[in-house]
Amino acid sequence: MKITKIDTSLYRFPAHRKIVDAIQEFTHMEVIAATIYTDEGTSGMGYSYTIGRGGRATKVLLDSEVVSLILGEDPADIERLWEKMWWSLHWVGRQGLVSLAMAAMDIALWDLKAKHAGLPLYKLLGAARDKMPVYDTDCGWLNHSQEELVREASVLVQQGFTGIKIKVGKEKRSEDVERLRVVRKAIGQDTKLMVDANLRWSAGEAIARAQLFEEFDLFWLEEPIEADDVLGHEKLRQRTSIPIAVGESLYNRHVFKEYLARGAATILQPDVGRVGGVTEWLRIAHMAHSFNVSVSPHFLMELHIHLACAVPNALWVEHIPFLNRFVQEPLSVEEGYAFPPNRPGHGVLFNQQKSEPHLVETNSWPCE
């Protein structure tokens, strides 16, 4: 089997609501997609994303560097092709744009492989389970008032969600504390409550805030400190009983390894669209398992449902319905659980009628 053509596309999807966290406002999701075609008439699609900037640069890298590395290759050789992309491009980036461009291609390769096997991706990868609990983040943006937080969180609990995450990082510590207080009261003690600071604090400020948060029985405190500050996270872990979650801003297994080796994180949150695809995501998850550490992937629930179902140490899938308007079949969620689609591949299909108005650029690259 041989890859005979690759199509690439860039979409710029507007946010479904106003989204603000402690360091940024999220107005658009840029989706960088790659579709590979073979001489057997089969195809696979993968995609990565940005939160509003860098999408065009990622697509330029995908088109100018990654496509030529994959065209003409045997798509079954996924490990070899991942290493080929990594070592061909490591000099210009072992994270960031290179990882994003690699992810789109690697996910497409896995989609194709699962289709050839006639299996849903999670089944191909081993199927540790066939459903995953979901926690909701969409109810808890930092721009939401206390009344909005309480109203939306309460509805989600009634719908069966067993986990709620809200953003923290207000200027005044007392504001964060009060938001946590009203949400915890609204959802009760049996619902897991997580918070996310989006890299906002220094280690000292994170320690101070964590001490104030202790009374709310938090399931985790996410990204409290700059992601590259492993020592800061290690200090924080030594000063709080709240589990620490990190990973959405880490781009390869080597950085995750530092957190594991130093005991600086309790829960890892690798993002398949940012770590270079399914191949690297699985490496990170299995490495975490050897440290008896759980994974709870960040965003991209449509893809992560397969990966979380495939490994035994996954905790949750994060529910943010950003792509629901643009895919043919949104992720199935019932009574607090998400279910992977049972069709071959990862099953994500963009609704052309709804997505094409947001198409920025598309290119086709045939094998010469």
Question: Which structure tokens are listed for 175?
Answer: 């504001």
Nearest Cα neighbor of 33 from 368, 349, 366, 357 is: 349
| Residue 340, helix vs strand vs coil | coil
Contact 124, 51 (CB under 8 A): no
**Largest Cα span, the chain:** 64
Contacts of residue 17, defined as CB under 8 A and 6 or more positions apart, other chains included, come to 138, 141
Tell me how far apart the alpha carbons of residues 50 and 58 are, in angstroms, rounded to a whole number: 9
Nearest Cα neighbor of 66 from 109, 27, 129 is: 109
Tell me how far apart the alpha carbons of residues 117 and 123 are, in angstroms, rounded to a whole number: 10
For 325, phi and psi rounded to 5 degrees? -75, -15
Tell me how far apart the alpha carbons of residues 20 and 229 are, in angstroms, rounded to a whole number: 23
Catalytic residue ranges: 167, 298
Which run of H or of E encompasses 320?
A: none
Alpha-helical (H) ranges within the chain are: 55-61, 67-70, 78-89, 97-117, 121-124, 146-158, 173-187, 203-213, 230-239, 253-262, 278-290, 301-310, 352-355
361: which strand partners?
10
337: which strand partners?
133, 334
Number of separate helices (H) and strands (E) present in the chain: 13, 14
